[in-house]
Amino acid sequence: MKIGELSRATGTNIETIRYYERIGLLPEPGRTAANYRSYGDAHRARLVFVRHSRDLGFTIEEIRSLLDLSDDPARDCHEADRIASAHLEQVEGKIAQLTALRDELTRIVGRCRGGLAGDCRVIEALGDHGQCQSAH
């Protein structure tokens, strides 16, 4: 299939597909006589893997490691588990951080009682970390 079809089949931007090829995440496909890229099912599966992993927040480098792993079925599976677990930890950290941040923002927003910017509680709170309840 041509790049446009692969794009539609996977919901991936054409430019993104070429980008993945450029950085070596997708193998170079064959070419037609007109120099058009020509993809098969293996390419599509690999792209689905990449997109799904990106959707789950894995970085390109993490995905590269996971792909290396899946390209070599004899290797130890624990490496994949390690990458995914480390990523999970990061996500949990991020959630905790965002939750603290949301609480702080909620409190700051709740203080607005209208009026002039000159004595705006929101602006005041932003200029004074001391008013915060928790670290962030």
Q: With binding defined as CB under 7 A, does residue 134 bind DNA? A: no
Residue 30 near residue 47, CB atoms below 8 Å? no
Contacts with a copy of itself, 83-112, as mask; x by CB under 8 A: -xx-xx--xx-xx--xx-xx-xxx-xx--x
The residue type of 59 is T
In angstroms, give the least distance from the CB of 87 to a copy of itself.
7
- Sole binder of DNA in the list 34, 77, 116, 135 (CB under 7 A): 34
Instruction: With H, G, I as helix, E, B as strand and everything else as coil, classify residue 58.
Output: coil
Q: At what angle do helices 60-71 and 78-110 cross, to 10 degrees?
A: 160
Six token digits for residue 26: 């997708």
Q: With binding defined as CB under 7 A, does residue 3 bind DNA? A: yes
Q: With binding defined as CB under 7 A, does residue 43 bind DNA? A: no
The rounded distance, in Å, linking the Cα atoms of 82 and 78 is 6
Q: With binding defined as CB under 8 A, does residue 61 bind a copy of itself? A: no
In angstroms, give the least distance from the CB of 117 to a copy of itself.
5
**Cα radius of gyration (the chain):** 23
The rounded distance, in Å, linking the Cα atoms of 103 and 105 is 5
**Site residues, a copy of itself (CB under 8 A):** 45, 48-49, 52-53, 55-57, 66, 69-70, 72-81, 84-85, 87-88, 91-92, 94-95, 98-99, 101-102, 104-106, 108-109, 112, 114-120, 122-123, 126-129, 136
